[in-house]
A and B are shown apart, each in its own frame.
Chain A
Amino acid sequence: MKIKIFAILMSVVILLAGCGSNSQNADPTPAPSATTTPGAQEPKPAAEEKSIYYFSYNGIDIYMNDVAKPILDALGEPMHYFESPSCAFQGMDRVYTYNGFELYTYTDGDDDTEYVLTVVFMNDGVETNEGITIGSKLADVISKYGVKFVQDGNKYTYTNANTNLSFVIENDEVVDVSYNLIVD
């Protein structure tokens, strides 16, 4: 009788503990890195298919979610470096400023490896591989990238693989260009 009760007891407890939702999900205990930068979203590593949208600078190709170190080494000393620890998280979002653009990186979990999160243009000294820069006309964007964009207010976004390429338009002119890692 006692064994029976014990068996029932354990089965119920195990059932209770074992069932429930989404056991495939990661532990919801906070893990490092969640950006607080407006306009950028929290990163999540995506499938590693290379996007057709990537930024090139001085012959260095920068794809979203690439490991940042070789890129940072090749780019050399940034003009400015900023790090932003997020509320409650031990991880760090970092921003490296180069001539004409900012490179945002993130770290994932307890791993200190930095990955490319975002590239943002700061002025017209840099351009996309298709020749669009700050100050280009909306018509130029559409002629280079086509009409398969998603419009959110005055933001036009083109998507491929793990990357969103976004243009913010004001008075018919591009005022912000950014490559962003797609977040699910």
Chain B
Amino acid sequence: MKKKKIISFVILILVVFTLAWLLQKLLMPKYMTKIVEGALISEYYEEKNKDHDVIFIGDCEVYENFSPITLWENYGITSYIRGSAQQLIWHSYYILEDTLKYEKPDVVVFSVLSMMYDKPQKEAYNRMSIDGLPLSLTKIKMAKASMLPEEDLITYIFPLLRFHSRWNELSEEDFEYWFKKDQIAHNGYLMRVDVKPAGSFPKPRKLADYRFGDICYDYLDKIVKLCKDNGIELVLLKAPSLYPHWYEEWDAQIVDYAQKNDLLYINMLDHLDEIGLDYSTDTYDAGLHLNLSGAEKSSVFLGKILKEEFNLADKRQDNYLKAIWQEKADAYYKMKEEQYKELEDYGYLLKFNLKRAEEDNRQ
């Protein structure tokens, strides 16, 4: 009788947890349309072959501006972009720490734009960087480092506790992608083929203090140490985005830091002609981010430097990798074709202009 009770209790617990898990899966945002950037972090864990020469960490300046497919096709470099929207430097550090549990790349490229933020900005950005990580001590440390005062750590361990209130906002998307999500990115690269030429920008504001925050330097030191301890070359990178303004005073600090720590720093804004970027055709939002043609140009430029500086082997003759990357390239060119078709049919990309598409449908 006692044994039966114990079994019933165990079953009860299992059923409760299964139900809670199902509910959590249903209620968490899927990021499959409109705000697709939220799906980037979790996609990495679906990768079959987590063995890359180069790992990028950073914000939109990496996941919008570089194409791993181009790096493969031109140099035989395998890479993955572990980027997320407004990824702050403490996010980057813990995402790197988590990545190193799965693989040891030869090179890590860190986008330095996030040095300008020394405080968490918004819970939604935290969610997009943190929720996609599997539960681990790293994730808990990352959440603790990132949370705004009104956030609770427990909600990063059990996101259901945060998202339960979405029950009355559930949409078709939530049910469609309850268990299986679409692939959004290409090894972390978020493709857009549309074009919006760059014009002029607001005058850069005078800042009260140009020095990056102490906490940013602390985390940069930690990234340097993490890479050194694992025998990884670290590259500091300023991507060729024209806005927000990259101040000379900021640049000088990164130059200085790179010198002191014997790191390679590439400010791609200093090489725009060499890269061949044309901001009337190579950006989809007037110079903030590159479109596909821009990302491919910037990847050709960066790939050459990475290959020469770090003697990365050309792996295009490796049959195993060749097959994997062919599959990836197929998906890449299929999406490219689909996006051009959408542009032709609608004049804009549906996934990124859902509101506009809904309005057009109503008319």
- Residues of A in contact with B (beta carbons under 8 Å apart): 5, 8-9, 12-13, 16-23, 25, 27-31, 34, 36-40, 42, 80, 82-90, 95, 97, 102, 110, 120, 122, 152-155, 166, 168, 170, 175-176, 178
Contact = CB atoms under 8 A, between A and B. Distances in A.
Interface string B202-226: 1111111100000000000000000
Given A21-B161, A28-B123, A87-B37, A82 B154 contact: no
A42 B122 CA distance: 8
B244 A9 contact: no
Interface stretch (B162-170, B257-265, B314-322, B341-349): B162-170
Contact of B202 (A8, A37, A110): A37
Given A17-B23, A21-B154, A30-B38, A88 B86 contact: yes
Given A28-B124, A87-B59, A154-B209, A23 B19 contact: no
Interface of B: 8, 12, 15-16, 19-20, 23, 27, 29, 34-35, 37-38, 59-60, 85-86, 116, 121-125, 127-128, 150-152, 154-155, 158, 160-167, 169, 199-209, 243-245, 247, 285-286, 288, 354-355
Given A39-B206, A97-B202, 7 more contacts: A31-B124, A36-B86, A36-B244, A42-B122, A87-B59, A88-B35, A176-B206
A29 B166 contact: yes
Contacts of B20: 13, 16-17
A28 B29 CA distance: 9
Given A20-B162, A27-B166, A178 B35 contact: no
B35 A89 contact: yes
Nearest to A152: B208
A104 B6 CA distance: 64
A153 B207 CA distance: 10
A175 B206 contact: yes
B85 A17 contact: no
B154 A120 contact: no
Nearest to B37: A88
Contacts of B125: 30, 34, 88
Contacts of B355: 90, 110
B202 A102 contact: yes
Given A82-B199, A82-B200, A13 B209 contact: no
A131 to B, nearest CB: 20
